[in-house]
Amino acid sequence: MESTYAVKKLARLAGVSVRTLHHYDQIGLLVPSVRTKAGYRIYGEAELLRLQQILFYKELDFSLEEIAGILDDPAFGILEALEGHKKALEVRRNRLSTLLETIDKTILKLKGGPIMLTNEELYEGFPRETAMAYRQEAMEKWGTQVVEDAEHKLRRLSKPDYKKLQATGENINAAIAGLMHLEPTHPKVQQQIARHFAHIREYWDASVAGDNLADAYRGLARLYTTDERYTARDGKPDPAYAAFISKAMIFYADTQLG
C-alpha cells in the first residue's frame, strides 16, 4: 500500500469525487497531512483510515456533523468502531435479505408461480436440531452471507424441482456405489463423479467455493472420511463407500478442476 495519496488518487481509491474531498477539507472533516506550496493536497494512511470511517458512518446514515463529533472524540477507537460497523451492517444486510426474499415471493405469487421454499423444506429429512446444527456449522465455516446466498438460490426452485434435485443426488450416489468394484480413477467412476460435481454445484452459491472450485471440492471429499455424518449412505454408516467416493472426488479435482 502506498504511504501517500494525491487527492485524485485517493478519490479514485475510495470511490468519491475530488469535490467531496475538497469539501471535507474545507469543513475540517478530512484534512490532508501535507499541503504543498503549489496547493496540492497530500493524504497519508491516517487520513485513508479516517476516510474509511467517514464512509462507513455515512453508509449508516450519520450526518457529516455527527461523524466529525464521533471521530474527534478522544475516546474514539478505530478497532471498536470497525466492530460496531460490522454488527450494524450485518443487521442491515439481514434486514435487506429478508426484504429481498419477500419481494421474490411476491413476484412469484403475482406471476402465478410457486412460493419459495422455506428453511424447513430446505432441510427436510433431517431432525430439526441436526438441520439447524448443520446450518450453524456452515455459517461458522463459510460465513452467514455465503449460507444465506446458497439457501436463497435453492429457494427459487419449486418444491417439485427441489425434490427432483434431491432425487438426482440419490441416483448419483447409487450409481457410484454400484461401481465400487472398480478403481476410483476408472473412467466409468469419474463419469459419475462429474455428475456428482455438477450436482453439488446446484447447491453451492458462487461464494461458497470462491475462485477455487478444486480446493472446495477436495475439502468436501475429505469430509467423507473425517466427519462421521458424511460416512453414511441411505442413513446407515458406510465407511467403505465414503473412502471410495472421497478418493474418486480428489482424483477428479486434481485432473479436471486443476
| Statement to judge: residues 173 and 223 lie in one domain | yes
| Statement to judge: residues 91 and 125 lie in one domain | yes
Q: What is the pLDDT of residue 188?
A: 94
Q: Is the pLDDT of residue 94 over 90?
A: no
| Statement to judge: residues 61 and 106 lie in one domain | no
Q: What is the pLDDT of residue 134?
A: 56
Which triple of cell numbers denotes residue 198? 455438477
Which triple of cell numbers denotes residue 219? 475439502
Q: Between residues 124 and 97, which one has the greater pLDDT?
A: 97
Final residue belonging to a domain, choices 109, 127, 156: 156
Q: Quote the CA–CA distance of 215 and 16 in Å, as a whole number.
A: 37
Which among 1-10, 137-146, 164-173 has the top mean pLDDT?
Answer: 164-173
Residue 106 domain boundaries: 77-156
Looking at the structure of the chain, the number of domains it has is 3
221, 249 contact by CB (below 8 A): yes
Final residue belonging to a domain, choices 53, 75, 97: 75
| Statement to judge: residues 166 and 245 lie in one domain | yes
Q: Quote the CA–CA distance of 184 and 161 in Å, as a whole number.
A: 30
| Statement to judge: residues 140 and 218 lie in one domain | no
Q: Is the pLDDT of residue 240 over 70?
A: yes
Q: What is the DSSP string of 24-37?
A: HHHTTSS--SEE-T
| Statement to judge: residues 119 and 164 lie in one domain | no
Q: Is the pLDDT of residue 218 over 50?
A: yes
| Statement to judge: residues 150 and 161 lie in one domain | no
| Statement to judge: residues 163 and 257 lie in one domain | yes
Q: What is the DSSP string of 110-167?
A: HTT-PPPPPHHHHTTTS-HHHHHHHHHHHHHHH-HHHHHHHHHHHHTS-HHHHHHHHH
Q: What is the pLDDT of residue 183?
A: 95
Final residue belonging to a domain, choices 110, 136, 156: 156
